[in-house]
Structure 1
Amino acid sequence: MTQPIPLKPTESELEILQILWEKGQCTVREVHEVLEKNKEAGYTTTLKLMQIMAEKGLVIRDTSSKTHIYRALVNQEKTEQHLVSKMIDNVFNGSAARLVMQALGNHSASKDEIDSIKKYLDNLSDK
Structure 2
Amino acid sequence: MKINRTNKPTDSELEILQVLWENGPSTVRFINDTLSTQRNVGYTTTLKLMQIMHDKGLLTRQKEGKTHIYKPAVPKEETQGQLIDKLLNTAFEGSAMKLVMQTLGNRRSTAEELQKIRDFIDNLEGGQDE
Higher CA-based Rg: 2
Once the two structures are superposed, the pairs formed by residues 82-93 of structure 1 within 5 Å of their partners are 82-93=82-93
What do residues 64-85 of structure 1 show as CA deviations (whole Å, max 9, x unaligned)? Answer: 3112111111121111111101
Structure 1 residues 32 and 108, CA, compared in 2 at 3 Å: closer, same or farther? farther
1 CA distance for matches of 2:110 and 2:37? 25
Q: Which residue of 1 aligns with 2:12?
A: 12
Q: Which residue of 2 aligns with 1:78?
A: 78
2 CA distance for matches of 1:52 and 1:4? 13
Q: Which residue of 2 aligns with 1:53?
A: 53
How many correspondences in the alignment? Answer: 126
- The runs of at least 4 aligned residues of structure 1 exceeding 3 Å deviation read none
2 CA distance for matches of 1:108 and 1:115? 13
Counterpart residue type for residue 81 of structure 2: Q
Gaps of 5+ in 1: none
What do residues 7-38 of structure 1 show as CA deviations (whole Å, max 9, x unaligned)? Answer: 11111111111111111111111111221222
1 CA distance for matches of 2:12 and 2:39? 11
Q: Which residue of 1 aligns with 2:123?
A: 123
Gaps of 5+ in 2: none
TM-score by length of 2: 0.89
Q: Which residue of 1 aligns with 2:112?
A: 112
2 CA distance for matches of 1:108 and 1:41? 32
Once the two structures are superposed, the pairs formed by residues 20-59 of structure 1 within 5 Å of their partners are 20-59=20-59
Which segment drifts farther, 30-39 or 117-126?
30-39
